[in-house]
Amino acid sequence: MALKISVIGTGYLGATHAACMSSLGLEVVGVDLDAAKIERLKGGRVPFYEPGLEELLQEQLATGRLTFSDARSRQLPHELNLAHSSWVNRRYRWAAPHDCAIACAHLTLRLT
C-alpha cells in the first residue's frame, strides 16, 4: 500500500508538489479552501502557467493516486500532511502571509 499524504494549499507550490509526489507512486490529496481552484484541478486544468504540469496533473488524476478536495470534505489525516503557503512581497519584504499559515493550522486541527 502506498504512503498517503495530504498537501494543504494547492497554489503554485502545492499543486506542483502534489502532482510530482503522485508520480512517485504516493497517494495524494490536495486540499484547499478555494473551491473554484479545486474544481479546476479536479478537471485537470492548472490555474497558473507551469510547462508540462497540466499533462502530469492529468496523468496522475487518471491513475487515481491524485485527488483534490475542498477543506470541508474532511479527508485528512493521512500518514503525512504538508502545508504550502506562497511567499508574497509585502512592503518590499518577502514573507509568508500569516493568515495563510494560520488557516493551514486551523484546517489541520479541525480535520484531524
> Residues 42-85: pLDDT tens digits?
999 998 888 999 999 999 999 999 999 887 665 565 555 555 55
Kindly state the cell numbers that stand for 39. Answer: 474544481
Q: What is the largest CA-CA distance in the chain?
A: 47
Q: Which three cell numbers stand for residue 36?
A: 473554484
DSSP state of 49: -
- CATH code of the domain covering residue 71: 3.40.50.720
Q: Which three cell numbers stand for residue 44?
A: 485537470
- Number of structural domains found in the chain: 1
What pLDDT score was predicted for residue 11? Answer: 86
CB 57 within 8 A of CB 11: no
> pLDDT tier at 34 (50, 70, 90 boundaries)?
confident
Q: Please compute the mean of the pLDDT values over residues 16-35 and round it to a whole number.
A: 91
Q: Which residue has the cell 508540462?
A: 52
38 within 8 A of 32, measured Cβ to Cβ? yes
Q: What is the model's pLDDT at position 13?
A: 86
Its domain, for residue 29, covers 4-111
